[in-house]
Amino acid sequence: MRIGVVTFPGSLDDGDAARAVRIAGGEAVRLWHGDADIHGVDAVVLPGGFSYGDALRCGAIARFAPVMETIIDAARGGLPVLGICNGFQILCEAHLLPGALTRNQHLHFRNRDQHLRIGATNTAWTNTFTEGEEILIPVKNGEGCFVADTHTLDELEAEGRVVARYTRGNPNGSQRDIAAITNAAGNVVGIMPHPEHAVEALTGPSLDGLGFFTSALRHLAGVAGGQLTGGATR
């Protein structure tokens, strides 16, 4: 399975994301922001960092990159897309996910290992987890405070689209402790903390992040075998 990892000017975690794909057993394909061709990949990861220097708003300019026009169309057609940190911000700016990520309420950059509780497990990126499972992965952001209007928040909860919540402390003031959400179809997931930094014992606080990448491979194997594990089944 070929999973594309996009590099924007200012991306920082594209290398780690590609590495996580390989450790999970997939083939990582590097994609370039200026190239509208996504080279037939089966899924895409939008990595963390500061694309375009966070000019204007985080993710606002990346959303108009040539590669994003292709990814937005493909995501609407069911392509699994995972946005991590800045990638989550880009997905919100592209309106593939609702809400927005704003300045951390306390105005401080937060960089620490963070406990999360998994909610939705019927997405393309979380089907190897169990609902209610607690995981530990790094969080590092200055603008990770998830906000949306009350109607949108209620809808996300009613439809089971909250993928993960912060537990044992909310690092940025996100409404309803939301750390990750999915779209209605379950193929697009945005997450503020960094699963790609928790895939090896040497460098991560756990191996819990690996599940996001193995989930995508399992989802794609299910699609290939005619048995869906998430995403389009919803």
Partner 1 sequence: MARVVVDVMLKPEILDPQGQAVANALPRLGVSAISSVRIGRRIEIEFDGEPDLDTAREIADKLLANPVIEDFSIRVDEQAGDSAQVSA
Cβ of residue 194: shortest distance to partner 1, in angstroms?
23
Answer whether 193's CB lies under 8 Å from 116's CB: yes
- The rounded distance, in Å, linking the Cα atoms of 141 and 43 is 25
Residues numbered 41-60 forming contacts with partner 1, rule: CB under 8 A: 56-57, 60
- CA-to-CA separations, 180 to 29, 35, 84, 105, 160, in angstroms, rounded: 24, 28, 9, 18, 12
Q: Could you say whether residue 221 binds partner 1 (CB under 8 A)?
A: no
E strand or H helix that includes residue 66: helix 66-76
| Residue in the structure block whose two tokens are 């950059």 | 109
Q: Could you say whether residue 104 binds partner 1 (CB under 8 A)?
A: yes
Cβ of residue 29: shortest distance to partner 1, in angstroms?
29
Q: Could you say whether residue 105 binds partner 1 (CB under 8 A)?
A: yes
Q: Which stretch binds partner 1 (CB under 8 A): 76-84, 112-120, 146-154, 209-217?
A: 146-154
Q: Could you say whether residue 92 binds partner 1 (CB under 8 A)?
A: yes
68: its two tokens: 């994003």
Smaller CB distance to partner 1: residue 13 or 93?
Answer: 93
Smaller CB distance to partner 1: residue 27 or 157?
Answer: 157
Choosing from 25, 35, 64, 203, the residue that interacts with partner 1 (CB under 8 A) is 64
CA nearest neighbour of 8 among 73, 60, 43, 56: 60
Q: Among positive and negative, which fits the CA dihedral 133, 167, 176, 20?
A: negative
List residues near partner 1 by CB under 8 A.
56-57, 60-61, 64, 92-93, 98-100, 102-107, 147-149, 173
